[in-house]
Amino acid sequence: MKSTEDLRLGKQYLKIRSYDKALEHLTKAVIQGDRAAVSLLYKLGVHFFDEKEYRKAEQAFQLLAGRGHAESCIYLGKISEYGDTGRKDIQAAFGYYAEAYRLGLPRGAYKAGKLMMPDALRSEEVRDIAVNWFMAATEGNLYQSYAKLGQLYSVGAYDRFAVTSLRDDKKALSYYLQGAMRGDGECMERAGLAFLHGFGTEINVKRAAILFRQAADHGRATACMRLGHLYDLGMGVYRDMKQSVYWYMEAYRRGIERGKAEAAQVYLHAGVSSLRSARSKKGKERAVEYLEEAGSLGCLEAYRVLAETSYVDGDQEKRLYYLRKGAEAGSEECRKDLLSYYTMQAMPVMRSVSRLSGQAHRNKEDKELWNIYIAQLKKAEELYKKAAEAGDADSWAVLARMYLYKGPEVGAGKQEFLEAAEKGENSKRIDTRKLRWRFYAGEKPTDGELLHEENPKEAFRCAKELASKRHGSFYPILAEYYQKGYGIKANPEKAEFWRSKFKR
């Protein structure tokens, strides 16, 4: 088959996304010398690489690299460097990168130099070779190479490698400045760090701030974090809370999660500081604004401070508002304070309900008394609901008990009872399994409960669960169920087992 026919078939298979067939025919076309097939096979190789089909990608790139295709050498270097087809082969990767450079691609020199970095930071001889590779890359306008050149001489200053015998901060700074002059953002930031800490030069915080700003303008998110820090402390720049927050949030927008938390902390400190020094209503309002901003950025502590401030001001409604906001945002302290408030409010109301209940039920013709009783009952329900919704299992259990015995009086039925019982399962005060058992067991209520729906299977399940958890009072109940076949097939042997367990 002629190369033109293979090229035509390769194109057609590409259109219908039959990539394996396209690989077959484009490979044949390239072998036969069809230049038009080269670019198509390269694109197909990139597709396989992106889809992590590395062996197919390698097949395409190997063929092209053998015919002097520099970009294919780069991809083969990546595959070997990271072991995408089985095992890492750093020597082979270096060879591919070097070949890419020989074929006219400066990026090959840069990648060859990067491969040597770990050894270059430990050996002067290897470092000198790496320097040559990076210098070759700079000649091809790959100015990020200056950052790597600087790193080769700034070991132990602010890099992850700890060997310091090869360190030359002045030389490192000279490379960073060369890269910065040519517009490389990383070099700008590293030069800024050198001036900030005095590596290879005298400390010059103002110049560091200028370099960080230039680096930020060139897309460096970490430089934004550094600017936020400088503006927060007033180092090399005028102290400016708004600028600090701006740069921290800019770092966050560029992908550094911590930027948001740092911005929140700036607002928190400004709010707390303003509260302490506030001498006027306007000053206090400004402090509250800062704290609210901190809260909106995820600072849980801000909500607690706002709640305490409202408490001191005697504004209970505002205090509860901030406690709710804090609890919703995940503050355990706010949640506990909220629960404490609602339960403390609910307890005297429940005591009032208990006192009124018997009298109101005995004198239902006394409408005024009955209405007072119902109003108190509903108020208690409302307070326990708020505590329950804040995540308090005990409050859910209290609601379940209230609904079982007084549900119709507050307009609650089976659904509300079962939901409260389920959510109150972890209560340490009330065992809601007993409440569910009472709801399901027997033809009629036996304990004055107003909600009841006999379901032998559910009653048996609850009784068995309680007995299995060593609730001794349920041993004879379970024995009776097995004896009578209530909710379960009758089983005299198991009935005897639970009776004897009770006697022991």
SS3 per-residue string spanning 214-259: HHHHCCCHHHHHHHHHHHHHCCCCCCCHHHHHHHHHHHHHCCCCHH
pLDDT > 90: percent of the chain: 83
Confidence band of 154 (pLDDT split at 50, 70, 90) = confident
- Written as six digits, the tokens of 181 are 């002059």
Q: For position 158, what pLDDT does the model report?
A: 44
Residue 390: the pLDDT is 87
Give the tens place of pLDDT for each residue, 10-53: 999 999 999 999 999 999 999 999 999 999 999 999 999 999 99
Reply yes or no on whether the pLDDT at 249 is more than 90.
yes
Residue 2 has pLDDT above 70, yes or no: no
Q: In 32-142, where does DSSP find H-type helix?
A: 35-50, 54-65, 70-82, 90-102, 106-120, 124-139
User: 407 and 451 in contact (C-beta within 8 Å)?
Assistant: yes
Average pLDDT score over the chain: 92
**How far is residue 420's CA from residue 446's CA, in Å, rounded to a whole number?**
21
Identify the DSSP state of 441.
S
DSSP 3-state helix, strand, coil percentages of the chain (rounded to 5)?
75, 0, 25
> What is residue 318's predicted lDDT score, i.e. its pLDDT?
95
| One-letter amino acid of 309 | T
**What does the pLDDT average to over 399-426?**
94
- Supply 58's token pair: 């390698």
pLDDT digits (tens, 9 = 90+) for 462-484: 999 999 988 889 999 999 999 99
Res. 1: pLDDT tops 80: no
Does the pLDDT of residue 437 top 50, yes or no?
yes
Computed from CA positions of residues 466, 472, 474, 478, in that sequence, does the dihedral angle turn out positive or negative? positive
Q: Which residues are CB-neighbours of 401 under 8 A, at least 6 positions away?
A: 430, 435
Percent of the residues in the chain that have a pLDDT greater than 70, as a whole number: 97
Predicted local confidence at residue 164, as pLDDT:
53
Is pLDDT at 363 greater than 50 in this prediction? yes
Q: What angle do CA 112, 118, 124 make, to 5 degrees?
A: 90
pLDDT attached to residue 159: 46
- pLDDT number for residue 155: 66
Q: pTM of the prediction? A: 0.79
